[in-house]
């Protein structure tokens, strides 16, 4: 009972079709014991149902995997098994019920600021005491007293991509373990991809990887191949000297070729035949199909296959953009591959950016079709042009404004943006004064600046007010702080359509900083989200080499 209460006054006498006591007994049978989270969940689901009109077909979302889903399954038709309840494990004690057809509904969530009258619930929710030290009886009593009063109730509408059922789609037999699985998961089941929770390998071998499948090919001794056409490019390797196709597909072999082939260790060769098996695709033809599907804007895939491989090149200067998730799915298909440069690499016209090929000499047409399904959402590779934006450079710092310290920021930043063809249209030096900073930003916007780069004033000193001045100027979507060294105190944001980059003082000392990683992304229209910035921590530490070779180094990769 909350402190100061003189009498018990339970929040609700019922939970769904049960009395509270009946629900607690039913919860113990369903869940194994009457967990506090399940009892509280019962009140939450009861509250949510009261906001759903009678006769409306609804689905449910639980934002935790603990206890709350069982309350949904006990009090509604929604279960994990029938697909009407989904668990988005966001770690929040919240549940939503929503109309199946419109996505409109209600979200009930435990709110921390409503727990003050219920100290034992707070101890339990925040795990302030070990479970064995908690007063279970008092906890259950507080939950009965509080009910859904400790929750917020808000109207919600589901995003379109989360609407609809969870149909399995087509079912296939995994070529590795032979078990049935949803074909949309790829060429093999997720277990055989390595997602199995078990120690050891429970699948078999994919017959395609063993090379047992394929069309019947004509093999002849090299000495008898004179006058016949080679079936594929044949590579000659001279260690540390060269590696290239010594013989091309379709080449007519003559007497002089026999000795050379034997020196290459080829005492039998495949030769062409007139009949073709339509179920199989030659490596060269497969490479053409794959390269064409992989290449998007700014990517040339028209080259001829060489040793079964097509190398794609950039048709313009820009930034290489890669759908990394789709690339992983593509490369999970046995029998095909695509290797690329790092995403977000700045590339020049004509540079090689990726290559693809079939692994076997002949690829099953069904494998090509599977690759096509992965690429239905669009190409994986794009070279996005870097927009030559008009740049304003704003230096903040009273010591620079008063001439106590010579400014070096403007030439450093100017050189970096001009290297990408961006003209500097405005520069200014202002003291550490938020009003002056704000006015300077507004003036640069009036001068047509499309990118504003501010310097200094981003640390923890009391005089560092750059962020406040930017906020006064209308700053939006601020991302302050990056897992990149040098440059941890970098700022990214925007004012309307104008991007803003805040560069910390480390740029005065270090040749390469976070700015070198982030600037081209901003120019390409790919300013990183907070989540994308978080990923940059892996590889975000510059080694500060005596001879800097960036970008030909691991920094930012």
Indicate if the alpha-carbon torsion angle 83, 89, 95, 99 is positive or negative. negative
What pLDDT sits at residue 274? Answer: 78
pTM: 0.68
Cα–Cα distances (Å) from 4 to 1, 136, 267, 533, in that order, read 8, 20, 95, 49
326/376 Cα distance (integer angstroms): 10
Res 459: pLDDT: 75
Give 112's Cβ-side CA count (13 Å radius): 4
pLDDT of residue 367: 86
| Ordered alpha helix ranges (H), 199-249 | 207-210
Q: Which of 397, 304, 380, 376 shows the shortest CA–CA distance to 340?
A: 380
Q: Return the pLDDT at 536.
A: 95
Quote the CA–CA distance of 231 and 275 in Å, as a whole number. Answer: 13
The reported pLDDT for the residue numbered 374 is: 83
Classify domain 391-536 by CATH architecture: 3-Layer(aba) Sandwich (3.40)
pLDDT of residue 209: 58
**What confidence score (pLDDT) does residue 204 get?**
58
Q: What is the structure's pLDDT at 6?
A: 39
The DSSP-derived string for 388-456 is ---EEEEEE-HHHHTTSS---HHHHHHHHHHTTT--EEEEEEE-S-HHHHHHHHHHHHHTT-SEEEEES
pLDDT of res. 400: 87
Contact between residue 235 and residue 305 where contact means Cβ atoms under 8 Å apart: no
CATH topology of domain 168-200: Wheat Germ Agglutinin (Isolectin 2); domain 1 (3.30.60)
Res 3: pLDDT: 46
* Domains of the chain, residue spans: 14-162, 168-200, 219-270, 280-385, 391-536
Contact 458, 493 (CB under 8 A): no
CATH fold label, 280-385:
Aldehyde Oxidoreductase; domain 3 (3.90.1170)
Tallying the residues shown for the chain, one arrives at 557
> How is domain 219-270 classified at the CATH fold level?
Molybdopterin biosynthesis moea protein, domain 2 (3.90.105)
Instruction: Please tell me the predicted confidence (pLDDT) of residue 201.
Output: 62
CATH no., domain 14-162: 3.30.1330.130
Stretches where the chain sits below pLDDT 70 are 1-9, 165-166, 176, 187, 200-213
């Amino acid at each position: 009972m909350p402190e100061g209460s003189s009498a018990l006054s339970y929040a609700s006498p019922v939970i769904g079709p049960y009395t509270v006591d009946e629900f607690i007994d039913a919860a113990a049978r369903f869940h194994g014991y009457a967990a506090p989270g399940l009892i509280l969940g019962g009140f939450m689901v009861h509250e949510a149902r009261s906001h759903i009109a009678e006769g409306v077909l609804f689905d449910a979302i639980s934002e935790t995997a603990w206890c709350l889903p069982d309350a949904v399954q006990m009090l509604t038709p929604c279960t994990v098994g029938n697909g009407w309840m989904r668990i988005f494990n966001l770690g929040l004690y919240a549940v939503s019920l929503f109309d199946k057809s419109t996505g409109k509904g209600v979200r009930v969530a435990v709110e921390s600021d409503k727990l003050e009258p219920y100290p034992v619930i707070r101890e339990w929710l925040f795990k302030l005491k070990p479970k064995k030290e908690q007063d279970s009886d008092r906890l259950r009593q507080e939950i009965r007293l509080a009910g859904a009063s400790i929750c917020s109730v808000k109207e919600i509408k589901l995003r379109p991509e989360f609407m609809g059922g969870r149909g399995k789609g087509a079912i296939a037999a995994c070529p590795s373990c032979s078990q049935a699985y949803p074909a949309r998961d790829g060429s093999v089941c997720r277990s055989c991809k390595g997602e199995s929770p078990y120690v050891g390998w429970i699948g078999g071998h994919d017959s395609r990887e063993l090379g047992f499948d394929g069309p019947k090919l004509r093999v002849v001794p090299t000495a008898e191949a004179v006058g016949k056409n080679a079936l594929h490019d044949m590579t000659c390797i001279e260690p540390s000297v060269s590696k290239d196709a010594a013989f091309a597909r379709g080449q007519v072999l003559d007497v002089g070729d026999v000795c050379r082939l034997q020196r290459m260790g080829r005492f039998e060769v495949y030769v062409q035949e007139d009949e073709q098996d339509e179920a199989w695709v030659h490596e060269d033809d497969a490479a053409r199909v794959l390269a064409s599907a992989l290449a998007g804007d700014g990517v040339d895939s028209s080259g001829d296959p060489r040793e079964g491989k097509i190398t794609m090149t950039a048709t313009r200067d820009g930034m290489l953009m890669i759908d990394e998730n789709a690339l992983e799915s593509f490369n999970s298909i046995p029998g095909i591959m695509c290797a690329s440069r790092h995403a977000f690499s700045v590339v020049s016209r004509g540079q090689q950016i990726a290559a693809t090929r079939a692994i076997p000499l002949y690829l099953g047409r069904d494998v090509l079709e599977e690759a096509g399904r992965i690429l239905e959402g669009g190409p994986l590779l794009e070279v996005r042009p870097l927009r030559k934006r008009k740049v304003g450079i704003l230096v903040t710092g009273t010591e620079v404004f008063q001439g106590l310290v010579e400014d070096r920021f403007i030439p450093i930043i100017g050189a970096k943006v001009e290297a990408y063809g961006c003209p500097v249209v405005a520069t200014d030096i202002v003291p550490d004064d938020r009003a002056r900073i704000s006015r300077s930003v507004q003036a640069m916007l009036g001068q047509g600046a499309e990118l504003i780069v501010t310097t200094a004033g981003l640390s923890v000193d009391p005089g560092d007010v750059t962020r406040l001045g930017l906020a006064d100027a209308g700053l939006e979507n601020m991302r302050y702080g990056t897992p990149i060294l040098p440059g941890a105190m970098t700022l990214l944001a925007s004012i309307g359509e104008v991007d803003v980059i805040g560069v910390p003082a480390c740029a005065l000392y270090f040749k390469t900083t976070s700015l070198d990683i982030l600037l081209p992304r901003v120019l390409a229209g790919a300013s990183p989200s907070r989540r994308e910035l978080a990923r940059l921590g892996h590889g975000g530490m510059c080694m500060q080499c005596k001879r800097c070779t960036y970008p030909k180094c691991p920094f930012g990769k």
